[in-house]
Amino acid sequence: MGSRLSVARPLIEACGDSGRIGNTRVLVMVPSSDGGAACLLPGFPCTPPVGIVAGVPLSMAMVERVIAYYRKLGGRRVPATECLQLISGKGPPQVLRMLAELAPPWADYAIASVYAALMPHARRKRLGIYFTPPHLVDHLLRRMRMFGLNPTEQRLRDPSAGGAAFLVPLAREMASSWLSEGVLPDEIIIRLRARLHGREIDSGLASVANALLCRMLVSELGISPGIVSDLSVVKVGDSLRVGEPDDSDHELSNPPYLRLDAKEQRRWKERFVDIAGGRLNLYAMFVRRALDQVPPNGLIGHVLPASFLGGPEFSAFRRCIMQLAEILVLDVVEKRRGVFLDAIQDACFVVLRRRPEPSNDMHPGTASSGVLSHFGEFFLSGHAKLPADGSPWSLPGKDPADMVAKLADYGYRGTVGYLVANRQAHLLHRRSARSRLPLVWAKCITNDGLFDFDRGRNAEKAGGHGFVAVPKDAAYVHRVPCVVVQRTSASSQARRLTAAAVPEDFLRRYGGFVGENHVIILVPTRADAVAPEQLADVLNGQQANAMLSRICGSASISVRVLENLPLPRP
């Protein structure tokens, strides 16, 4: 791979940051050394090339190859031991060669990702650990600088430091600036201890984070190993439980993403009662904690799941943020696949400035908003609209004059499919019989907006189970013409909303159906309701999908969001 990249490097450098030669955008295809699929290297890196590899997709592909190597090894390995070896320049030669191909921030990300990959799956899920790729870090830092972030002059913290994705680049900028001013290395270490703070709940990961930071100071800036040997910026602890916060001016973080179970919900609800509109999520709790702990006018920059933008369970959270902070930035990531290792996640960037005093007279606001592309380019879109009452925050876009109707104006209400297949498998059957009705799976709704019962029941998840045993008078059986909507959109789908009318002949043949839990059923509420086929066409249309993308940052669509989605007049 190295020789192939070296040949391509002159073209990469000719493209520079613009990704263009003249008016032509350049893409460089670099075949992998194992004869597999070619890797895509864009000619427009999000930062100037460092080392050989500059493109985000190719760098991510190399990281995935590093992870694949360790997964193939099998066996039980201690994550911290393996990662500390790599940091010290030891380990499998094949992995060391791949790490050498990567720019330093991407090599650090690869090592942190090795740690995550080697963690027991249950522990990683419980901690909600998904590390931040360098291009996301770069973007958040750039956006925060626009509003006053100055690492060389301020005190900064990361309450969920992980693999030091934010702390290492901050330390690099701080130490580089101080070295250029003639500050001695001993004094630089003293300043880093005073101005840079991290906390990590996993002790092994904290040791890896500190080792990555020390390696950067030694290998990139030439500071003596003896001077940095006892530098420990990342402390072990749970930031949600620590009494006294680190003394900092601003906070940057990618907090853990995890919806609390019922037991944890009871434990934390009293403390976070002002954001507990639904099931609490760790990331919302971290944002709320930050709004108490940064000083007035302090900045909070977080990488978050976009689900809070429109999810009804986050209404109190949105309202609380508006009361306590000015929302400065609301950017989204273009794609949700390939953003975080082993996860499909809609992500966004939020930059807040804490108000000196909570606002008791809130008014609708706006926030600068744009899109970070899969290749690291940023496109400013305009201003997001932020209602003050907890309603969904709306990303920039046109507001068509005729988008004033709601689902109720079409004569419909929504309900989620009753049957949860993995919990009620004993009710599932492959064949029709007395006391059984068809089970409508999400796959019954085609990408073209058609209803295909056989496609749904023969899909891999359904496994041929197309019928469900039901009591004769079950209230969750649907017997009238209606519309079914996929509750969760796949990353490969061209649009977020996919709906289909359930044919009348299907209902006549079987007498009704039951919806699976990943299906929303839109049921008519009055005799003069719009025909199901017409409603399905509206939901599959460009206007409805564009509006949903602006107010719903989650791959999952809630009934409440759908019922309140602005639609064209019937």
Report yes or no on 378 lying in a domain: no
Report yes or no on 383 lying in a domain: no
What was the pLDDT predicted at 261?
87
Report yes or no on 254 lying in a domain: no
Residue pair 226/181 in contact (Cβ under 8 Å)? The answer is no
Residue pair 67/341 in contact (Cβ under 8 Å)? The answer is yes
Report yes or no on 382 lying in a domain: no
Residue pair 13/26 in contact (Cβ under 8 Å)? The answer is no
| Closest among 167, 181, 152, 244 to 212, alpha carbons compared | 167
More confident residue, 199 or 9: 199
- Give the integer Cα–Cα distance in Å for 151 and 337: 31
Report yes or no on 11 lying in a domain: yes
Q: Return the bridge partners of 347, or none.
A: 305
Report yes or no on 103 lying in a domain: yes
- Residue whose tokens read 């702390």: 167
pLDDT tier for residue 75 given thresholds of 50, 70 and 90: low
**Into how many domains does the chain fold?**
2
**pLDDT of 358-407, one tens digit each?**
998 889 999 999 988 877 889 898 999 999 998 889 888 776 667 789 99
What was the pLDDT predicted at 262?
87
Domain C-terminal end among 118, 147, 170: 118
Report yes or no on 87 lying in a domain: yes
254: tokens are 């990618």
**pLDDT of 291-347, one tens digit each?**
999 999 999 999 998 888 888 889 999 999 999 999 999 998 876 544 444 444 478
Under 8 Å CB-to-CB from 114, ≥6 apart: which residues?
Answer: 66, 67, 70, 79, 82, 83, 86
The H or E element spanning position 177 is helix 167-180
| Closest among 217, 323, 301, 317 to 254, alpha carbons compared | 301
> pTM for this structure?
0.77
Domain C-terminal end among 118, 143, 175: 118
| Closest among 382, 328, 321 to 350, alpha carbons compared | 328
Report yes or no on 465 lying in a domain: yes
What was the pLDDT predicted at 258?
86
Structural domain including 424 reads 407-563
What was the pLDDT predicted at 337?
46
Domain C-terminal end among 118, 152, 185: 118
pLDDT beyond 50 at 471: yes
